[in-house]
Chains A and B, each alone.
Chain A
Amino acid sequence: MFQPDANACAVRRRVLRAGGVLVALALVRPALADANGLKAAIAAYSSGREAKPGRVAIDVARLVDNGNAVPITVRVDSPMTAADHVRAIALFNERNPERDVARFALSARSGRAVVSTRIRLATSQQLVAIATMSDGSLWSGAIDVIVTLAACIEGEG
């Protein structure tokens, strides 16, 4: 029977361990890296101010069949009075060719902080909405979506 010598086994173990580290790194890396400039785009929009997580809810299908037209609703928890209302909502994506999706300007006249539209999604990714309140504070909400048929891939039909 073939018996590998102890030395070869040790080498193999080392190679496997190194491979394991590489796999672990590959899994961790996306979380560590600035996801495709998403944070940079948000920082540019909010001029570097940090948005607190909360008060913003993104309503979108978690599993998207068709990335060409994805209905999405952004809701912000706000009384929408003259003293305390949402001034703006900005929507960002992680993996489309451009980070921006849309920006909305609201006022106390809106009465409710809810905006709906339909967007394109190139692939499975994270969506982030930033709400700017009348007092200047920033709040954010995020959601991960899985896209099975991507937008932007097919040529002119």
Chain B
Amino acid sequence: MARTLITVPQDAKRGDVVEIRVLIAHPMETGYRVGSDGKRVPRDILRRFACRLDGEVVFAAELFPAVSANPYLAFPLRVERSGTLSFTWEGDGGFAQTETAALNVA
């Protein structure tokens, strides 16, 4: 399991637009670099990210090798109700990880 860092504001009021920040530890190997053995390092990137609120997709991203290692994403969300946010990353080599965080709306 890759380490993740997820920031969800906890003092949001109904109707506020909050910024959700996520980061996951991943090398995002581009497939263009040459290793010490002179061979190309095979590509290993995260391709997709999705954020869901109680199962409904509220933000999604498609990533390419030009995204830095340890992909960081910050995106907005208008909060109407409390719920459970789930964050899913999918990538090369069958990589899949899901994390959850509580969204509390005052």
Contacts and interface: CB of A to CB of B under 8 A. Distances in A.
A and B found bound together: yes
Interface of A: 68-70, 73, 80, 93, 96-98, 100-107, 109-121, 151-152, 154-156
A154 to B, nearest CB: 8
Given A111-B76, A112-B17, A155-B33, A120 B58 contact: no
A120 B65 CA distance: 8
A119 B66 contact: yes
A101 B66 contact: yes
A114 B59 CA distance: 12
B77 interface: yes
State the 5 A-B residue pairs at the shortest beta-carbon distance, nearest first: A111-B78, A111-B17, A116-B74, A112-B76, A105-B60
A113 B71 CA distance: 20
Interface in B37-78: 41, 53, 57-69, 71-78
B33 A114 contact: no
B30 interface: yes
B35 interface: yes
Contact of B77 (A96, A110, A152, A154): A110
B68 A118 contact: yes
B68 A110 contact: no
B33 A117 contact: no
B66 A109 contact: no
Contacts of B76: 106, 110-115
Contact of B78 (A110, A116, A121): A110
Contacts, number: 109
B66 A105 contact: no
A8 to B, nearest CB: 51
Nearest to A110: B76
Interface string B68-92: 1101111111100000000000000
A68 B65 CA distance: 11
Contact of A101 (B30, B34, B67, B77): B67
A59 B63 CA distance: 19
A118 B30 contact: no
A106 B75 contact: yes
Given A152-B30, A152-B32, A156-B36, A107 B58 contact: yes
Contacts of B17: 110-112
Contact of A115 (B63, B65, B75): B75
Contacts of A152: 30, 32-33
A120 B61 contact: no
Given A102-B64, A120-B66, 16 more contacts: A69-B68, A69-B69, A93-B66, A100-B64, A100-B66, A102-B67, A109-B53, A110-B58, A110-B78, A113-B76, A114-B76, A115-B74, A115-B75, A119-B68, A155-B36, A156-B33
